[in-house]
Structure 1
Amino acid sequence: MQKRIPKIQYITQDHPQLSHSDQARLAFEQGIEAVQIRMKDSCSNDILKEATLALQYARQFDRILIINDSIEFAKEIGAHAVHLGLNDTSIDEARQILGDDIIIGGTANTFEDILLQKSRGADYVGLGPYRHTTTKKNLSPIVGIGGYREIIRQMNEKKIHTPIIAVGGILLDEIEMLQQTGLYGVAISGALLKTLNNQTHE
């Protein structure tokens, strides 16, 4: 079965007015293909509640819901996808638990990381950060536009076709430029959140 890997995904973040499920609903309403629920500092009950509600919105709009880090929550609610960092449960282990149908993405900072995540069976790889971002602690070295071009060149040379998603501090007007490097897609957070927040106050 051909998996539907989204080209644009929105990553939720803590916000004083908008819950994570609110952000998911607003993003889906704006036509965003996928939302990744990322609640690093929340308790299990809150994550489960927000993710379950966000999944209802995803089904309503025929979109994709990604759970960050937790294969347990992804399995419990029946999410479409899970995204795993380099230090989380490895993708091949997660695959044994979640099965072949779910989309599993992995994080990378270098070409070597991409090779590792590909060897583990990643359906896509989130490569970043593009620039400095305040939404993530313990940030890896900045990749930048030149870094993306070089890594895509290396992938083409090795005939590696894993979809690469740029992530980290991306502005809305930079999406097209980044896709022109040969990247498969982008993940956005803060830039889109400002837009979504403004709409709720109009």
Structure 2
Amino acid sequence: MTDLPIDDDPLGPLDPDFANRFERDPRRPACQLYLISPLEVGGGFPDRLRRALDAGAVAAFQLRLKDIDQHEAARLAEPLQRICADAGTAFIVNDSVALAKRIGADGVHLGQDDGDPREARERLGKDVQIGVTCHDSRHLAMEAGEAGADYVAFGSFYPTTTKAVQHRPEPTVLGWWTTLFELPCVAIGGITPQNAPPLIEAGADFIAVCSAVWGEDEVAAVRAFDAVLRG
């Protein structure tokens, strides 16, 4: 990785006229749903996750935990990982390569401060999925691809209360990426069933959602996203 600030993309902004030439490639697989957990996953959350996964097609679930030790994280992960396995949903760990290795997760998602994908690959093996947060930067996305990432994530596309937002890409970056590269891309940040269509049409391979599902009735929310994704 370079030492460039994460908001300094040496490629510069996409020229609007140039960007508008990119659109979703119809040969790519249909966009899929990628669920991200709330920070509180104890108590009755496993039952909520099971209901959500039963409500519609969910390609991946990311476990996002903060400020807890590895032992507790592994304890919380165990029932959720089992539910995902039963549903055929990939189980992804946020930030922690160590936790992903410890529990045998299907993948790990790395922020820009969470290490090099090459090192993660060495520790986790060739079959584990590695995703990388790239904010609004085409440069960081290309670096992640060169480093062996399995997908790149752009966002936040819309205002969100899940985490602090410093980067607001335009949907055109999704079309640019999917026109030029085979590597899947994920759109994240404040996505709801109502505002998802422009991101899907622009080229997102996955839409990652959190509050729009867990802040509502998870069954109704997943069904609403499922309807949008099915067109």
The TM-score bracket by the shorter chain reads: 0.7 to 0.9
Query: 1:50 aligned to 2:76?
Result: yes
SS at match of 1:27: helix
Q: What does 1:182-201 correspond to in 2, within 5 Å? A: 182-193=203-214, 194-196=216-218
Check whether the contact 1:14–1:20 (CA below 8 A) recurs between aligned residues. no
Check whether the contact 1:165–1:187 (CA below 8 A) recurs between aligned residues. yes
SS at match of 1:126: strand
- What is the CA–CA distance in structure 2 between the aligned matches of 1:17 and 1:50, rounded to whole Å? 7
Check whether the contact 2:41–2:76 (CA below 8 A) recurs between aligned residues. no
Q: What's 2:153 paired with?
A: 126
- What is the CA–CA distance in structure 2 between the aligned matches of 1:68 and 1:150, rounded to whole Å? 23
Q: What's 1:149 paired with?
A: 172
Check whether the contact 2:42–2:76 (CA below 8 A) recurs between aligned residues. no
- What is the CA–CA distance in structure 2 between the aligned matches of 1:18 and 1:142, rounded to whole Å? 34
Query: 1:63 aligned to 2:89?
Result: yes
1:11 to 15, 24, 36: 36
- What is the CA–CA distance in structure 1 between the aligned matches of 2:155 and 2:100, rounded to whole Å? 23
Q: 1:133, CA displacement in angstroms?
A: 1.4
Q: How many residues align?
A: 189
Q: What's 2:194 paired with?
A: 173
SS at match of 1:191: helix
Q: 1:154, CA displacement in angstroms?
A: 5.8
- What is the CA–CA distance in structure 2 between the aligned matches of 1:123 and 1:198, rounded to whole Å? 30
Query: 1:72 aligned to 2:104?
Result: no
Q: What's 2:5 paired with?
A: none
Counterpart amino acid of residue 32 in structure 2: K
Gaps of 5+ in 2: 1-28, 222-231
Query: 1:94 aligned to 2:120?
Result: yes
* CA RMSD, 1 decimal: 2.5
Query: 1:161 aligned to 2:182?
Result: yes
Q: 1:67, CA displacement in angstroms?
A: 0.5
Distance change >3 Å, CA 77–CA 114, structure 1 → 2: same
Q: 1:175, CA displacement in angstroms?
A: 2.6
Q: 1:168, CA displacement in angstroms?
A: 0.7
- What is the CA–CA distance in structure 1 between the aligned matches of 2:190 and 2:111, rounded to whole Å? 18
Deviations 1:138-196 (A, max 9, x none): x33212xxx1214522663xx22221110011012333331110121200000011122
- What is the CA–CA distance in structure 2 between the aligned matches of 1:82 and 1:186, rounded to whole Å? 17
- What is the CA–CA distance in structure 1 between the aligned matches of 2:110 and 2:61, rounded to whole Å? 15
Q: What's 2:141 paired with?
A: 114
- What is the CA–CA distance in structure 2 between the aligned matches of 1:46 and 1:66, rounded to whole Å? 17
| Identity %, equivalent residues | 28
Distance change >3 Å, CA 22–CA 127, structure 1 → 2: farther
Distance change >3 Å, CA 39–CA 17, structure 1 → 2: closer
Q: 1:19, CA displacement in angstroms?
A: 5.3
Q: TM-score, normalised by structure 2?
A: 0.73
- What is the CA–CA distance in structure 2 between the aligned matches of 1:142 and 1:84, rounded to whole Å? 19
